[in-house]
Amino acid sequence: RAYLYHADRSYSMVLGRPYAIQDEYTTTLPPNNVLDLTKLTANSPTLPLSTPTRMTFVILRHQLAYLIGKMVQ
């Protein structure tokens, strides 16, 4: 889902067209910055973004897609 959100924002900026996924109507949140998704539990600690994990890229890409949407708007 996050891939689709990022693709929608990126393509709309490149093509100069409005984006299709509206932030007001979506509930997709960026993932938590955790070390291992396979061992994720309710008590798994969320690490700061200064600690790089595999999910750090996804979180930062989600934030970038949000900013791209603001630029297109």
pLDDT per residue as tens digits for the range 12-21: 889 999 989 8
pLDDT at position 1: 62
With a threshold of 0.75, does the pTM exceed it? no
Name which of 27, 47, 26 is nearest 36 in CA terms: 47
pLDDT at position 15: 92
Encoded tokens for 39: 């061992």
Distance CA(54)–CA(29), nearest Å, equals 17
Distance CA(17)–CA(19), nearest Å, equals 6
Identity of the amino acid at 23: D
Distance CA(58)–CA(61), nearest Å, equals 5
